A = this chain, B = another copy of it.
Amino acid sequence: MYKLIKQENNARRGEFQTVHGTVQTPAFMNVATAAAIKGGVSAYDLKDIKCQVMLSNTYHLHLRPGDEVVHKMGGIRKFTGWDGPVLTDSGGFQVFSLAKLRNIKEEGVTFASHIDGHKIFMGPEESMRIQSNLGSTIAMAFDECMENPAEYNYAKNSCARTTRWLYRCKAEMDRLNALESTINPNQMLFGINQGSTYRDLRIEHMKQIAELDLDGYAIGGLAVGESTEEMYEIIEAVEPHMPKNKIRYLMGVGTPGNILEAVHRGVDLFDCVMPSRNARHGHAFTNEGCRNLLNAKYTLDDQPIDPECDCPVCRKHSRAYIHHLFKAGEMLAMRLTVLHNLYFYNNLMERIRKALDEGCFEAFYNTYSEKINKRI
């Protein structure tokens, strides 16, 4: 399903085929947590901003509207109107970051809903059943995402359990994909590498999960407390042990600079709430760095957010207008800035792919990696 087209040092230009369309990689997935992109952006809007893959959250959709509802409505793609590939996470990250009073056992995790406190149990089988109900293109394995730093022995035991959970995920998905009521009988499964910041645990765990010959492999448990340098070191340590013929996904990362660094180290797929979350607070990404649109200096600035940007927002609206919308508390401020930021990310990936196609990624990387994280 993953085809490596070209490689420049560790950076990979590839294609990832799915039943819902082919993804050109490296790619950034746009986050529609509760089946909508926060900031008033619809699945149809994603078409206009170069999105290739939509990502939705299993935990959120299980709680509301309920995965049974989404199943009855024909799955997440029909429900939202997004006709391209969708990746659903496993719920694991949210269970560990959002839910309250969680209790982890071998079977799975009991936790209290962050909405109304009611008790829920989720284990590998439950996560797979929910994701099968959602009918996503790609399901993620149910894992434990530890906060960094984690205690070595805890991390070791947790990794071992995550591996055992992965086997259960695989078995349950095989069973679900064979059922007649399954929306996407070709649903794919990605395994998730864990091991906190311990190189030996990371490498050992990666080797174990690679044995399952899954559809793709993710590096999870990063950007959760450790330094950026530690994150890059872990990617470098794990990467040689990731199958070359499988797509590689770095979960929840990150800034444009982080993404460039990770592509440079051999990663193909990304997701992050940063572009949409920052946008909702008035922070816009540009080719010159990050711009705070709430800044008074934009009051009379009739330039677009980014003069070099071709997004639907920069072609039509001025900084002064969007600045005013933020000051006036108009929702439109958020929508416009979210659209711009997501386009910026998706377009950055396109530029990365183009650089790889033309064999000049290293030059692109050297020029942009510093510039792109600047605040202006």
A325 within 8 A of B: yes
A37 within 8 A of B: yes
Q: A residues 31-62 with Cβ under 8 Å of B?
A: 34-42, 44, 60
A324-B64 contact given A36-B332, A81-B317, CB 8 Å threshold: yes
List the B residue with the shortest CB-CB distance to A316.
B81
**Segment of A72-80, A202-210, A229-237 in the binding face:** A72-80
Contact B332 A334 (CB under 8 A): no
A65 within 8 A of B: yes
Q: Name which of A60, A330, A334, A336 has the most chain B CB atoms within 10 A of its CB.
A: A330
Contact B41 A332 (CB under 8 A): yes
Contact B39 A69 (CB under 8 A): no
A335 within 8 A of B: yes
B-chain residues with CB within 8 Å of residue A335 when the two chains form the complex = 40, 42, 331, 335
List the B residue with the shortest CB-CB distance to A327.
B64
Q: Name which of A65, A81, A302 has the most chain B CB atoms within 10 A of its CB.
A: A65
Q: How far does the alpha carbon of A38 sit from the alpha carbon of B80 in the complex, in Å?
A: 23
Q: A residues 290-343 with Cβ under 8 Å of B?
A: 299-300, 302, 316-318, 320-321, 323-325, 327-328, 330-336
B-chain residues with CB within 8 Å of residue A324 when the two chains form the complex = 34-35, 64-65, 69, 79
Contact B79 A320 (CB under 8 A): yes
- Looking at chain A, what size class is its interface with the partner chain? 35 or more
A36-B330 contact given A81-B316, A316-B44, A324-B64, CB 8 Å threshold: yes
Q: How far does the alpha carbon of A320 sit from the alpha carbon of B336 in the complex, in Å?
A: 26
Q: Tell me which of B36, B39, B300 contacts A72 (CB under 8 A).
A: B300
List the B residue with the shortest CB-CB distance to A312.
B44
- Min CB distance A222 to B, Å, is 28
A34-B73 contact given A79-B320, A321-B79, CB 8 Å threshold: no
Q: A residues 331-372 with Cβ under 8 Å of B?
A: 331-336
- Min CB distance A318 to B, Å, is 7
- Min CB distance A30 to B, Å, is 14
Q: Tell me which of B42, B318, B330 contacts A332 (CB under 8 A).
A: B42
Contact B37 A332 (CB under 8 A): yes
Contact A36 B325 (CB under 8 A): yes
Contact A69 B321 (CB under 8 A): no
- Min CB distance A282 to B, Å, is 15
Q: Tell me which of B40, B321, B331, B336 contacts A35 (CB under 8 A).
A: B321
Contact A300 B73 (CB under 8 A): yes
- Min CB distance A311 to B, Å, is 13
B-chain residues with CB within 8 Å of residue A44 when the two chains form the complex = 316
B-chain residues with CB within 8 Å of residue A302 when the two chains form the complex = 73-74
B-chain residues with CB within 8 Å of residue A74 when the two chains form the complex = 302
Q: Tell me which of B38, B299, B316 contacts A65 (CB under 8 A).
A: B299
Q: Tell me which of B42, B65, B328, B330 contacts A327 (CB under 8 A).
A: B65
Contact B331 A38 (CB under 8 A): yes
Q: How far does the alpha carbon of A333 sit from the alpha carbon of B41 in the complex, in Å?
A: 10
- Min CB distance A135 to B, Å, is 14
Contact B64 A328 (CB under 8 A): yes
- What 6 pairs across the A-B complex have the smallest Cβ distances? A40-B40, A40-B331, A40-B335, A36-B330, A65-B324, A36-B332
Report 17 cross-chain contacts, Cβ distance below 8 Å, ordered by A residue. A34-B330, A36-B328, A36-B332, A39-B40, A39-B331, A40-B331, A40-B334, A40-B335, A42-B316, A42-B332, A42-B336, A65-B299, A65-B324, A65-B328, A69-B299, A73-B321, A79-B321
Other than the known A34-B330, A73-B320, what 16 A-B pairs have Cβ atoms closer than 8 Å? A34-B328, A35-B324, A36-B325, A36-B330, A40-B331, A41-B332, A42-B336, A65-B324, A69-B320, A79-B318, A79-B320, A79-B321, A81-B316, A81-B317, A331-B331, A331-B334
